[in-house]
């Protein structure tokens, strides 16, 4: 898919601010590909498309989780998680995007998972550190992103888990799986 086509397809589904966020994620993902390798085109497309389903009505997404045979347990967690796996399906259904790497990066961009592909890590991290973001601790993640993709992803998941715990929010198992898996990359997995 052409980059310009992807922008055209996504823009009507997002607010202006969310579209601009998506363009910054795409730009940040290209920067991470410069550092860690991979396809710049796929990274840019995944960045542009990652929040495609962000503003779908909740009722519609609830039905899609069932209709698309997505894990039912998603329904027991915050609806904020739904746009990622649903987006990965809708970009194919509505936009004809078939690339499995890009669909995986969209599917896991919110929670992460164990054994993330490089593109999944790049989009997960780009979504967290794009220049419009201002989370507590983000500068440390941005610094780490310059030298160690896994460590930076680990910091981002750790910060997200800490933020969710402070809010008394539930944490989806894939988020823990991502944290544990990335931990073994950075400290041998024994702690």
Q: Where along the sequence are the contacts to ligand DGI (CB under 6 A)?
A: 51, 54, 77-78, 80-81, 84, 109-111, 127, 160, 164, 169-172, 175
Q: Which does 80 bind (CB under 5 to 8 A by kind): ligand DGI, Fe ion, none?
A: ligand DGI
* Distance (Å, whole) CA 134 – CA 66: 35
Residue ranges of alpha helices (H) inside 37-172 are 40-49, 58-67, 83-95, 100-107, 118-129, 138-145, 149-166
Question: Among Fe ion, ligand DGI, none, what does residue 164 contact (CB within 5–8 Å per kind)?
Answer: ligand DGI
Question: Which CB sits closer to ligand DGI, 66 or 170?
Answer: 170
Contact 74, 89 (CB under 8 A): no
Report which DSSP code applies to 12: G
**Nearest-approach distance from CB 95 to Fe ion, in angstroms:** 17
User: How far apart are CB 80 and ligand DGI at their closest, in Å?
Assistant: 4
Whole-number Å distance between alpha carbons of 168 and 39: 38
Query: CB 77 → ligand DGI: shortest distance, Å?
Result: 5
Measured from the CB atom, the residue of 125 and 149 that comes closer to Fe ion is 125
User: Residue 64 binds which one of ligand DGI, Fe ion, none, with CB within 5 to 8 A depending on kind?
Assistant: none
Give the whole-angstrom CA distance, residue 151 versus residue 165.
21
Among Fe ion, ligand DGI, none, what binds residue 144 when CB lies within 5 to 8 Å by partner kind? none
Which of 42, 1, 35, 18 shows the shortest CA–CA distance to 130? 18
Measured in Å, how far apart are the chain's first and last C-alpha atoms?
A: 44
Of 28-36, 38-46, 47-55, 115-123, the window that binds Fe ion (rule: CB under 5 A) is 47-55
CB atoms within 10 A of CB 57: 8
Instruction: State which of residues 31, 49, 51, 154 lies at the interface with Fe ion (CB under 5 A).
Output: 51
Residue 121 interacting partner from ligand DGI, Fe ion, none (CB closer than 5 to 8 Å by kind): none
- The residues binding Fe ion (CB under 5 A) are 51, 127
């Amino acid at each position: 898919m052409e980059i310009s086509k992807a922008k055209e397809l996504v823009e009507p589904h997002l607010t202006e601010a969310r579209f601009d966020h998506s363009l910054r994620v795409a730009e940040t993902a290209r920067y991470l590909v410069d550092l860690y390798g991979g396809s710049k085109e796929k990274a840019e497309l995944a960045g542009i498309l990652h929040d495609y389903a962000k503003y779908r009505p909740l009722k519609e997404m609830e039905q899609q989780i069932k209709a698309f045979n997505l894990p039912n347990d998603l329904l027991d967690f915050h609806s904020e998680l739904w746009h990622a796996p649903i987006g990965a399906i809708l970009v194919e259904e509505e936009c004809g995007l078939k690339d499995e790497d890009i669909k995986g990066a969209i599917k896991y961009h919110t929670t992460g998972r164990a054994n993330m592909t490089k593109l999944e890590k790049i989009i997960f991290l780009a979504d967290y550190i794009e220049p419009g973001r201002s989370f507590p601790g983000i500068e440390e993640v941005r610094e780490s992103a310059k030298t160690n993709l896994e460590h930076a992803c680990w910091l981002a998941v750790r910060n997200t888990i800490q933020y969710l715990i402070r809010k008394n929010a539930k944490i989806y198992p894939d988020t823990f799986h991502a944290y544990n898996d990335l931990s073994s990359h950075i400290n041998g997995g024994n702690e």
